[in-house]
């Protein structure tokens, strides 16, 4: 259960940071999409403050680490209630 919560929280924190910089920095969204096409998700962190950079990179790692146990838990809840 805690892996599912950690996985969802990593996703939400990562999306919140991306939305913050998309709103406050010009051209951030375009650079984010270009980095995604190159499979270079860490290059965009160079424009962030040190605190946001650390949070962004930790949530990227957390999304990968907690993917299988967290996804299994969230999927089992959705399967039972849908």
pLDDT of residue 63: 87
Total of domains in the chain: 1
Is 81 a domain residue? no
Name the pTM for this structure. Answer: 0.75
Is 56 a domain residue? yes
Separation CA 51–CA 45 (nearest Å): 10
Contact 69, 76 (CB under 8 A): no
Which tokens is 3 given?
Answer: 């892996």
Separation CA 58–CA 10 (nearest Å): 8
> What is the domain extent for residue 34?
2-76
Is 82 a domain residue? no
Helix orientation angle between 28-37 and 2-24, rounded to the nearest 10 degrees: 130
pLDDT of residue 1: 66
Is 23 a domain residue? yes
pLDDT tens digits along 24-39: 888 888 888 888 788 8
Is 8 a domain residue? yes
């Amino acid at each position: 259960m805690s892996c599912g919560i950690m996985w969802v929280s990593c996703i939400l924190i990562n999306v919140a940071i991306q939305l913050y910089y998309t709103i406050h920095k010009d051209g951030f969204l375009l650079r984010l999409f270009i980095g995604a096409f190159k499979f270079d998700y860490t290059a965009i962190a160079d424009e962030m403050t040190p605190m946001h950079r650390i949070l962004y990179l930790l949530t990227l790692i957390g999304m990968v680490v907690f993917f299988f146990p967290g996804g299994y838990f969230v999927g089992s809840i959705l399967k039972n209630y849908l």
